[in-house]
């Protein structure tokens, strides 16, 4: 019986947002105003598609984007945490659910040799086209009204846990490690034994605190963190239970 660890990517595994980090590849390290203003709430993936097209049109190539991406710092203590999980893979399954894209996440995991830590990565599929432009698609379609059009992390988590159950894998508990507003939805799926681990000072923690103040029902425990080292301590406590 394993514990399922669910990670967000941006501002959780890495200490920044990969989509905004890539802007440093643009001329003068900024986007034109009309491109910036084209963003509509809930349509981030479509916006990033336009950003990638702009970068391609400006002559920014794959190797330059890759160099920028792998220079992103990891969140404090995250390298230690991922090494701890690797040493204890018999106790944990580990997945990423992220609103970044498959190319960026692959580059980072490959450059840091952490691919083997994760059993599955759920994100927006991306690829370079014949013109050398990075293209990105929606992860899926869903009917959740709380989440952006391209990704409901709750739907992904429920489907994954259900598929695992059909294959005879039943998790003792789920530990959800994230930071953002789009992590609120999957956290509401968590049950009594599960643990929501929001990063201190970020949107997820603030929202969960507000829900608690408003006495909104939530079944899981909430344990906030600033460093991956704190998460190691908590996981050590869980596997000793």
pLDDT digits (tens, 9 = 90+) for 209-235: 988 888 777 889 999 999 999 999 999
User: What's the pTM?
Assistant: 0.95
Interior/surface letters 207-220, b for 16+ CB within 10 angstroms, e for the rest? bbeebeeeeeeeeb
Q: Judge whether 188 lies within some domain.
A: yes
Specify the number of domains making up the chain: 1
**Would you say 179 is a known binding-site residue?**
yes
**156 within domain boundaries:** yes
The single-letter DSSP state of residue 238 is: H
Lookup: tokens for 113:
């040799």
In a domain, 79, yes or no: yes
Average pLDDT, the chain: 94
Domain contains 53: no
Of 8, 93, 183, 194, which is the active-site residue?
A: 8
pLDDT for 150: 86
pLDDT at 140: 85
Q: Quick check: is 129 in a domain?
A: no
On whether residue 78 sits in a domain, the answer given is yes
Would the annotation count 37 as a binding residue? no
Question: Looking at the domain assignment, is residue 178 inside a domain?
Answer: yes
Q: What CATH number does the domain containing 79 carry?
A: 3.40.50.1000
Q: Which two tokens stand for residue 57?
A: 């049109």
Neighbours of 1 (CB within 10 A): 8
By residue range, what is the domain housing residue 194?
A: 2-15+74-124+143-239
Q: Is 8 a catalytic site residue?
A: yes
Task: Please say if 10 is a catalytic residue.
Answer: yes
Question: Is 157 within a domain?
Answer: yes
Residue 115: closest CA among 95, 139, 98: 95
């Amino acid at each position: 019986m394993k514990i399922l660890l669910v990670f967000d990517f941006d501002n959780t595994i890495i200490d920044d947002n990969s989509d905004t980090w890539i802007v440093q590849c643009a001329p003068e390290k900024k986007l034109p105003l009309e491109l910036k203003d084209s963003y509509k709430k809930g349509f981030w993936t479509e916006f990033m598609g336009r950003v990638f097209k702009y970068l391609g049109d400006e002559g920014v190539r794959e190797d330059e984007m890759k160099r920028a991406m792998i220079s992103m710092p990891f969140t404090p203590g995250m390298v230690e945490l991922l090494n701890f999980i690797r040493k204890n893979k018999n106790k944990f399954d580990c997945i990423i659910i992220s609103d970044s894209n498959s190319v960026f996440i692959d580059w980072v995991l490959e450059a840091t040799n952490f691919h083997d830590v994760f059993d599955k990565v759920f994100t927006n599929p991306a690829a370079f086209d014949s013109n050398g432009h990075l293209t990105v698609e929606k992860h899926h379609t869903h009917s959740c009204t709380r989440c952006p059009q391209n990704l409901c992390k709750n739907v992904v988590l429920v489907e994954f846990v259900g598929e695992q159950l059909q294959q005879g894998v039943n998790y003792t508990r789920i530990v959800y490690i994230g930071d953002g507003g789009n992590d609120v939805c999957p956290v509401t799926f968590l049950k009594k034994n599960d643990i929501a681990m929001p990063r201190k000072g970020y949107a997820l923690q603030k929202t969960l605190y507000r829900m608690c103040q408003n006495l909104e029902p939530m079944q899981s425990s909430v344990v906030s963190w600033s460093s991956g080292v704190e998460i190691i301590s908590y996981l050590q406590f869980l596997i000793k239970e």
